[in-house]
Amino acid sequence: MGGSQGIGRSIAETFVKEGARVGLLDCDEGVRKTAAELEAEVSVGDIAKLQDVEVAAEQFGNSLGSVRHVVCAAAVGSGKFGCPFWNLEPDDWSRVLEVNLMGAVHAAHAFSPVLREAKAGSFLFLSSVAAQIGSPTDPPYSAAKAGVINFMQVIAKDLAPFNVRANCLSPGMVKTGLNQSVWEAGQKTLPEEERLDYEDWAQAKIKSISPLGRWQEPGEFGAMAAFLASEYACNITGQTINIDGGQVMHS
């Protein structure tokens, strides 16, 4: 879910390379082109709508023969700079929570019955380092992704008796449309003479927050997602794995 571009597409590409049959759900019509390129099944729908996710679950169950691994990579931001938080209005939160948090809830409800019946499989949710550090940049996004981590842990506990696992991946600085939207929103709050182009802004931010001092690449998430879906990860559940160049370090 959320497979038309960015990290979601990279995960789908990796699964295809590993020999998996893949189904893509996205509200962006561009997902049809991605699916054709990857020879994947496709369902155009909104993860914020339970019915759309249920339709995709039924479609993929019929066309792929079985569903064993569900990756929820759909995400949106508010499109505003939320520092301080009162720069945003309460109404700015609704769509962010519907996609980022309720989308994960919808995925869990729609796909868990088949995984429980098979007593096999996994869920993987894309969260964010912003969920773990109280990032003020986009409070609705940070809060929604923190909720995803908590809900993932609930899923992991509830599905463990069925041999179904659940984990999160948390990106740091990755070149995606969402990352660029954060830059755009922040720059609008600055006087014109203080504004930076995207590359200069990103390099300055990476230098200030990431011990390794470099971008994270979408392919890294594809590789980790494939590992977490494999038998090598059979005892990994309830975990949030940061691919962030060391940005978040827990003592």
Q: What is the 3-state secondary structure (H, E, C) of 137-167?
A: CCHHHHHHHHHHHHHHHHHHHHHHHHCCEEE
Q: What is the pLDDT of residue 183?
A: 63
Are the C-beta atoms of 77 and 181 separated by less than 8 Å?
Answer: yes
Query: Does residue 167 carry a pLDDT above 90?
Result: yes
Query: Does residue 176 carry a pLDDT above 60?
Result: yes
Query: Does residue 25 carry a pLDDT above 60?
Result: yes
Where in the chain are the domains? Answer: 66-243
State the pLDDT confidence band at 154, using cuts at 50, 70 and 90.
very high
H or E element at residue 100: helix 94-100
CA 123 – CA 227 distance, rounded (Å): 13
Q: What is the pLDDT of residue 11?
A: 94
State the pLDDT confidence band at 164, using cuts at 50, 70 and 90.
very high
Query: Does residue 107 carry a pLDDT above 90?
Result: yes
Q: Give me 53's structure tokens.
A: 């996710």
Mean pLDDT over 60-74 rounds to: 90
Task: Identify the CA nearest to 111 among candidates 163, 150, 63, 66.
Answer: 66
CA 221 – CA 54 distance, rounded (Å): 26
The DSSP 8-state label assigned to residue 49 in this structure reads S
Q: What is the pLDDT of residue 128?
A: 92
Record the pTM.
0.87
Query: Does residue 251 carry a pLDDT above 50?
Result: no
Neighbouring residues of 203: CB distance < 8 A, sequence distance ≥ 6: none
Q: What is the pLDDT of residue 177?
A: 66
Q: What is the pLDDT of residue 187?
A: 67
Query: Does residue 136 carry a pLDDT above 80?
Result: no
Query: Does residue 222 carry a pLDDT above 50?
Result: yes
Place of tokens 């827990």: 250
* 66-243 to CATH, choices 3.40.50.300, 3.40.50.720, 3.30.450.70, 3.40.190.10: 3.40.50.720
Mean pLDDT over 222-240 rounds to: 96
Share of the chain above pLDDT 70, in %: 91
Task: Identify the CA nearest to 188 among candidates 50, 87, 85.
Answer: 87
Query: Does residue 213 carry a pLDDT above 90?
Result: no
Helices then strands, counting H and E runs in the chain, come out as: 9, 6
CA 128 – CA 126 distance, rounded (Å): 7
* Residue 83 backbone class (left: φ over 0; alpha: ψ -120 to 50; beta: rest): beta
Q: What is the pLDDT of residue 214?
A: 84
State the pLDDT confidence band at 135, using cuts at 50, 70 and 90.
confident
